[in-house]
Structure 1
Amino acid sequence: MLFFAKLLGEFFTKIKQPAIIGEILAGVLLGPTVLGMISPDMLEWLFPKTGEVKTALDGFTTIAVVLLLLVSGIEVDFGVVLRHRKTAFSISLIGIIVPFALGFGISYLFPEMMGVQDKNIHLLFALFIGTAIAISSLPVIAKILIDLNLFKTQIGFIIIAAAMLNDLLGWLIFSVILGLMDNTGRSIGFGQTILYTIVFVVFVLFVGRKLINQAVPWIQSKLTFPGGILNFILILGFLGAAFTEYVGVHAILGAFIVGIAIGDSAHLKERTREIIQQFITNIFAPLFFVSIGLRVNFIANFDFVIVSVLLVIALIGKVAGGAIGARIGGLSKNESLAVGFGMSSSGAMGIIIGVIALEAGLIIEEVFVGLVIMALFTSIASAPMMSHFLKRKESFRLQDLLSPSNFLYSSATDKETLLIELANFAAPKVKIPAKEILQKVMEREKQGATGIANYLAIPHAKIKTNKPYVLTAKIKEGINFGSVDGINSRIVILLLTPENKNELQLQLLAETAKKFSNKEKIEELLSIDDKNIFIEMLKQM
């Protein structure tokens, strides 16, 4: 299992796709779909349906799921969530509500279409489908952002923060559903289960988190490394899993919450994070995902209607929900669509809850196959779609924004007169009153000089707009903008950028200053009177 999982996982990694696709495909090849069709006896010998081997494999995959959620929790950064709480909460909340409502509504209204015959589980089934579609996969999203070099950008932090909240809310909802399924034989009632779960989450995240942060440096300095800290993490993770399992929700919730508390420790060494992450994702995770392919015959249980419904609901609901939340949170159209596709990846998390629901008898094998295909498809589609919309965002280069239509000659002799002239010139283009533009520009001027060097000044401001504007003025006589070389500015480039795009403003400022590094070329540019030739020459510099 491990050999085929790593072989195919590495192959898909090489072609820029999530490794879990190869790992699940390995299970499909070794399971009833392929090996079972070629040699049923060989399949039964390798993976018997009863007996000690079956019990051992089930136990191993359960431990693997708990460890996967523990690692996912460790990846959650509370600081990131708090810094981007407004936008992240908007994305996460609406990104859950929209797909959840679609999934719940269609499953509840048309249960027979989704293969549900037992009327007693209609409500629970609909709740589960809504949750399965709404939840995102933090590990897959993080990997996609790293591959696209977006992980440490502003939009990357926002997506990660939203995915963290999404995971937390999603697992809480799913745990409640599991608690609702069967209270028979339990010493704890459903009301008590909810109460204990809330108390556990609050205690671990607000009290346990601080205690762990104090314990980690002592363990790392006094006990052998890395054995001491790794044992500490695993013991806490399994204790959290055991508690939530005991109170009536699945063990995965306890492991995930404890993982968040551990990962938030400022003292936890990066080396420790790397060791446990590599240990689990390279051994336990591949075996778990291989076991998915062993569970059902993907060909025999493929239902076109179920698969199509799940895919359509997932793509429309998750992309629309994430994008709407991002727009409400203040992001641009392209950024919002990129966030929507980023949040659409259900990946490992969608598969994990599918496995748990299948084991609990809540869904049939056809629905499980549909959920796996949905999770894989959304994981594959999210990266290229995010890249597509963010590349459109990156097209806002100075080269593309310089235009003869945004050029003017000025005979102004002082800074304020020139800025008033530029504000009036910009107003109809930006569709913002000139007075408001001037106010923003003057506020920035009071903070410090915007004169650069070599006859250049770059007054700039952040305004309420969705895209940047660059306006160029050539001045007959130089104006003092406080340039570092003491030369009055004769070329003034006004940059107006969206309020929520700090990185874009810095990028355009850097590109502008770079063009004016050669004084001889600037003096040659000043001799040009035709605005078309002027702009073309400026672009080529």
Structure 2
Amino acid sequence: MSGGAAIAAGDSATASGVLLALAVVLASAFVCGRIAARVRQPVVMGEIVGGVALGPSLLGLLPGHLDASLFPAEVQSYLRVLSQLGLVLFMFTVGLRFDVGHLRGAGRRVTAVSLSSVALPFALGVGLAVLLYPWFDKAQLSTDGRLGPALFLGAAMSITAFPVLARIIAERRMQHDPLGSLSLACAAFQDFLAWCALAVVVAVVEAKGLWSLGRLALDTAVVVLVLVGVVRPLLSRLLAPGRRRPLPRPWIHAVLVTGTLVTAWVTAEIGLDAVFGAFMFGAAVPRDRIEAIAPDVPEQIERAGLLLLPAFFAVTGLAVDLTGLGLRGLAVVAAVLVAACAGKFVGAVAAARATGSSRREARVLGILLNARGLTELVILNVGHRLGVIDTRMFTAMVVMALVTTLMTGPLLERHAAGSAGSATLPDPAPEAAQASRAPS
């Protein structure tokens, strides 16, 4: 066989392997998602568990090392590309739905609860990273010293997943309840603070000295200014409802997807992760104009991203190895869970009580803000790629993200009955329970 034919045969074998792997990933996501829906959990959480199950934590335990057979290195590289594309499209929709109005209207209670429930888990995460640093596998770290891991774990601990919280509140029909509105406002504020903190962490880790850090900060400021001062006004004109010749829907698709990909590429090139660019472009798009002339276009882009997100869950699951933790690792998982839950719950409850909330109201708020969801996985993957956490800490943090989100619904049902403004906690609305796999 000639060299060219051999290469072609190898490419064909890899392509068929990618197709099989993607079929398995999608099937696992579908089955696990349906199981999650039946037990009244967000569908996307089942899909994440399905991704973890395809890795060494479950599939790898079966005879024949099926995880390595189904997902060899060359197949994983293609799955990473697909997962990155799905993730970028997902982050665009997160940015598009991010309502700055929640921040503008932040009153004393929102500000106090948000800052308290970010500051306490951040401090606990930093302290935990300092204590556990000797346990880290230094060969997997790209940074010297404790600063990078400490700042990253602090930021990761302080996350509240705004999308999954919005879905839980909608399913419980709490969106018009004062407590539900307060929770959403706090989650939006916390998301803003956490993404800013993560951007600082990435800048500190990626920058090689003060000059490099300053240049990265300047480049980021330029990107933001261009998006706010040039891109947003231009999109406002292009998407104006009163245009004599409205922009055709295929053009709107092309503009939004191209803008997302280009901005993601720019932020990746300057040293930030691509997810920041996708999020920032989504936030720069005038949502009112889109809703007025083409409300279905963002939903269609979201569906494309959701189709590829199981690849991201699989890539995450392949990096999660529960079997490699050992007894000490399980103790670390327990410590991470206690720190994450205590930080969020105590921070939220203390601030809520100090600003006039009842004891039951404060507890429900603390439970809601403890949900981390898919947003946490996005951040953890950024940290893992940067080399600020090793595989064992990545595994422990993924377990924490899953447990804190899965426990929200059951705890909410137990504690929310009789809370102020919601005498009884209703069952999830049928239409919401059957709702799709909105990102969380």
1:240–1:162 Cα change, 3 Å: farther
> What residue in structure 1 maps to residue 258 of structure 2?
235
For 1:220 and 1:48, locate their aligned partners in 2 and report how far apart those are by CA, in whole Å: 54
> What residue in structure 2 maps to residue 175 of structure 1?
199
User: 127, 143, 150: which is aligned to 2:174?
Assistant: 150
Alignment of 1:62-81 (within 5 A): 62-81=84-103
| Conserved 8 A contact 1:220-1:229 | no
> What residue in structure 2 maps to residue 192 of structure 1?
215
Greater Cα offset, 123-132 or 67-76: 67-76
User: 324, 332, 356: which is aligned to 1:306?
Assistant: 332
Equivalent residues, number: 393
Question: What amino acid maps onto 2:39 in structure 1?
Answer: I
| Conserved 8 A contact 2:86-2:304 | no
Question: What amino acid maps onto 1:112 in structure 2?
Answer: P
For 2:113 and 2:422, locate their aligned partners in 1 and report how far apart those are by CA, in whole Å: 25
Greater Cα offset, 12-21 or 270-279: 270-279
For 1:238 and 1:292, locate their aligned partners in 2 and report how far apart those are by CA, in whole Å: 22
1:266–1:386 Cα change, 3 Å: farther
Structure 1 residue 199 displacement after superposition: 4.3
For 2:103 and 2:111, locate their aligned partners in 1 and report how far apart those are by CA, in whole Å: 9
Question: What amino acid maps onto 2:102 in structure 1?
Answer: V
| Conserved 8 A contact 1:209-1:264 | no
> What residue in structure 2 maps to residue 472 of structure 1?
none
Structure 1 residue 98 displacement after superposition: 1.0
For 2:153 and 2:120, locate their aligned partners in 1 and report how far apart those are by CA, in whole Å: 13
| Conserved 8 A contact 2:59-2:65 | no
| Conserved 8 A contact 2:89-2:301 | no
| Conserved 8 A contact 1:88-1:158 | yes
Higher strand share: 1
Identity of aligned residues (%): 26
2:414 is the counterpart of 1:392: no
| Conserved 8 A contact 1:213-1:267 | no
Q: Which runs of 5+ in 1 are unaligned?
A: 398-541
Question: What amino acid maps onto 2:255 in structure 1?
Answer: F
> What residue in structure 2 maps to residue 365 of structure 1?
391
> What residue in structure 1 maps to residue 20 of structure 2?
none
Aligned-pair RMSD on alpha carbons?
2.9
Structure 1 residue 274 displacement after superposition: 2.9
> What residue in structure 1 maps to residue 16 of structure 2?
none
User: 266, 279, 284: which is aligned to 2:308?
Assistant: 284
Structure 1 residue 129 displacement after superposition: 0.8
Question: What amino acid maps onto 1:253 in structure 2?
Answer: F
Q: Deviations over 1:195-243 (max 9, x none)?
A: 3324433553576444433332369963333x33222222222222122
For 2:232 and 2:61, locate their aligned partners in 1 and report how far apart those are by CA, in whole Å: 50
Alignment of 1:309-458 (within 5 A): 309-393=335-419
For 2:216 and 2:34, locate their aligned partners in 1 and report how far apart those are by CA, in whole Å: 42
Is the partner of 1:379 in helix, strand or coil? helix
Is the partner of 2:195 in helix, strand or coil? helix
For 2:226 and 2:354, locate their aligned partners in 1 and report how far apart those are by CA, in whole Å: 32
For 1:92 and 1:305, locate their aligned partners in 2 and report how far apart those are by CA, in whole Å: 29
> What residue in structure 2 maps to residue 139 of structure 1?
163
For 2:252 and 2:97, locate their aligned partners in 1 and report how far apart those are by CA, in whole Å: 16
Structure 1 residue 324 displacement after superposition: 3.1
Question: What amino acid maps onto 2:412 in structure 1?
Answer: M
1:266–1:158 Cα change, 3 Å: farther
Alignment of 1:85-96 (within 5 A): 85-96=107-118
| Conserved 8 A contact 2:264-2:274 | yes
Alignment of 1:99-118 (within 5 A): 99-113=121-135
1:192–1:106 Cα change, 3 Å: same
2:224 is the counterpart of 1:201: yes
Structure 1 residue 169 displacement after superposition: 1.9
| Conserved 8 A contact 2:83-2:310 | no
Q: Deviations over 1:307-352 (max 9, x none)?
A: 0111001011011222334345543332222222211111112112
For 2:163 and 2:117, locate their aligned partners in 1 and report how far apart those are by CA, in whole Å: 18
Question: What amino acid maps onto 2:116 in structure 1?
Answer: I
Q: Which has the higher contact order (CA 8 A, sep 6+)?
A: 2
| Conserved 8 A contact 1:69-1:259 | yes
Question: What amino acid maps onto 1:64 in structure 2?
Answer: G
For 1:217 and 1:129, locate their aligned partners in 2 and report how far apart those are by CA, in whole Å: 43
1:264–1:335 Cα change, 3 Å: farther
For 2:226 and 2:412, locate their aligned partners in 1 and report how far apart those are by CA, in whole Å: 37
Is the partner of 1:120 in helix, strand or coil? coil
For 2:349 and 2:262, locate their aligned partners in 1 and report how far apart those are by CA, in whole Å: 38
Structure 1 residue 69 displacement after superposition: 1.5
For 1:304 and 1:41, locate their aligned partners in 2 and report how far apart those are by CA, in whole Å: 23
For 1:5 and 1:76, locate their aligned partners in 2 and report how far apart those are by CA, in whole Å: 26
2:160 is the counterpart of 1:162: no
For 2:59 and 2:235, locate their aligned partners in 1 and report how far apart those are by CA, in whole Å: 47
User: 278, 295, 299: which is aligned to 1:274?
Assistant: 299
User: 102, 123, 127: which is aligned to 2:147?
Assistant: 123
Q: Which runs of 5+ in 2 are unaligned?
A: 1-24, 424-440
> What residue in structure 2 maps to residue 12 of structure 1?
36
For 1:322 and 1:220, locate their aligned partners in 2 and report how far apart those are by CA, in whole Å: 51
> What residue in structure 2 maps to residue 244 of structure 1?
267
For 1:392 and 1:113, locate their aligned partners in 2 and report how far apart those are by CA, in whole Å: 45
For 1:47 and 1:396, locate their aligned partners in 2 and report how far apart those are by CA, in whole Å: 48
Question: What amino acid maps onto 1:80 in structure 2?
Answer: H
> What residue in structure 1 maps to residue 280 of structure 2?
257
For 1:320 and 1:263, locate their aligned partners in 2 and report how far apart those are by CA, in whole Å: 37
For 2:53 and 2:231, locate their aligned partners in 1 and report how far apart those are by CA, in whole Å: 44
Structure 1 residue 76 displacement after superposition: 1.2
Structure 1 residue 300 displacement after superposition: 2.7
Q: Deviations over 1:162-193 (max 9, x none)?
A: 22222222122112222222335x9x821121
Greater Cα offset, 96-105 or 260-269: 260-269
1:396–1:135 Cα change, 3 Å: closer
Question: What amino acid maps onto 1:90 in structure 2?
Answer: A
For 1:363 and 1:157, locate their aligned partners in 2 and report how far apart those are by CA, in whole Å: 35
Is the partner of 1:121 in helix, strand or coil? coil
Structure 1 residue 147 displacement after superposition: 1.2
> What residue in structure 2 maps to residue 478 of structure 1?
none
Greater Cα offset, 216-225 or 22-31: 216-225
Question: What amino acid maps onto 1:372 in structure 2?
Answer: V
Structure 1 residue 93 displacement after superposition: 2.0
1:177–1:84 Cα change, 3 Å: closer
Structure 1 residue 86 displacement after superposition: 4.1
Compute the TM-score of the two structures, normalised by the length of structure 1. Answer: 0.66
Structure 1 residue 381 displacement after superposition: 1.6
Structure 1 residue 253 displacement after superposition: 1.3
Question: What amino acid maps onto 1:63 in structure 2?
Answer: L
For 1:342 and 1:97, locate their aligned partners in 2 and report how far apart those are by CA, in whole Å: 17
Q: Deviations over 1:462-489 (max 9, x none)?
A: xxxxxxxxxxxxxxxxxxxxxxxxxxxx
> What residue in structure 2 maps to residue 479 of structure 1?
none
Structure 1 residue 396 displacement after superposition: 7.7
Q: Deviations over 1:340-398 (max 9, x none)?
A: 2211111112112212222222212111111111001110122233344432215886x
